[in-house]
């Protein structure tokens, strides 16, 4: 069993999936008959990570009720007092941690080797190369480091993108505000100082946070190793 803690960011409003999810929060939307949250938990547990904390806000009671029915007493829950942004949410959920920890955005589906990622240096972002980067900001990568964050391209282009899976040191949240976006405040600063590392994943990954990609994830469900 691995001693590292994982935080799943499962508190977003999921407005882009509202037509599909209805009254359910996004983590409980099903892909291949299994909730997105279960896919992520299965991936973590496959790699020996059972120390899991959920960062919640929107419809937190539904997510907690689902987890307690499925995995009674197994997880920790942190409910934001108000939406704090990705950075503020991670900071709030990790405020008692002293060692590096994993973070998973709540809509990422992948067959990534989490065990290998855990062997990376702290402050590492999982990245993949996509054939159409228009929905994502591009990354300038050199020698295992992220050097620069670029804006979303206007035309179809191949490039490396941020997958929303991180290995972080708690120290990066020192002297940060209560509410902020990690993609705007912390990552560019670490990149500028040469301290933001890359874990390059060459397998499957999809952000199922939009209707189009959610439908694609369901169509491609048999590609995933953890199912």
Q: Residue 138 and residue 81: Cα distance in Å, rounded?
A: 32
Residue corresponding to tokens 């301290």:
195
46 is catalytic: no
Q: How far apart are CA 76 and CA 80, in angstroms?
A: 13
Cβ–Cβ < 8 Å for 25, 96: no
Within the chain, how many helices (H) and strands (E) appear?
8, 13
Helical ranges in 10-74 per DSSP H: 18-21, 36-46, 60-70
Single out the residue of 194, 121, 131, 203 nearest to residue 160, CA to CA: 131
The active-site residue out of 74, 152, 215, 225 is: 152
Question: What is the rounded distance in angstroms from the CA atom of residue 12 to the CA atom of residue 179?
Answer: 14
Number of neighbours of residue 199 by Cβ within 10 angstroms: 23
DSSP 72: T
Q: Which helix (H) or strand (E) holds 124?
A: strand 124-130
Spatial contact of 188 and 195, defined as CB atoms under 8 Å apart: no
Q: Which of 35, 86, 37, 81 is nearest to 58 (CA)?
A: 81
Active-site amino acid positions: 152
């Amino acid at each position: 069993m691995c001693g590292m803690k994982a935080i799943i960011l499962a508190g977003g409003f999921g407005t882009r999936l509202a037509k599909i999810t209805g009254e359910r929060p996004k983590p409980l939307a099903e892909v291949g008959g299994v909730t997105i949250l279960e896919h992520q938990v299965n991936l973590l547990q496959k790699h020996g990570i059972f120390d899991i904390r959920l960062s919640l806000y929107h419809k937190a009671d539904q997510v907690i009720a689902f987890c307690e029915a499925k995995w009674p007493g197994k997880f920790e829950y942190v409910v934001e007092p108000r939406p704090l942004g990705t950075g503020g949410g991670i900071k709030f959920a990790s405020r008692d941690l002293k060692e590096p920890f994993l973070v998973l955005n709540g809509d990422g589906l992948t067959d990534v080797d989490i065990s290998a990622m855990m062997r990376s240096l702290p402050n590492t972002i999982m990245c993949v190369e996509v054939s159409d980067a228009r929905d994502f900001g591009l990354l300038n990568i050199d020698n295992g480091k992220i050097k620069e964050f670029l804006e979303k391209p206007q035309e179809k282009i191949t490039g490396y993108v941020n997958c929303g899976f991180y290995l972080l040191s708690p120290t990066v949240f020192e002297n940060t505000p209560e509410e902020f976006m990690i993609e705007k405040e912390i990552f560019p600063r670490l990149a500028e100082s040469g301290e933001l590392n890359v874990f390059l994943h060459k397998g499957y990954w999809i952000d199922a946070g939009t209707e189009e990609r959610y439908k694609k994830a369901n169509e491609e469900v048999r590609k995933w190793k953890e199912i």
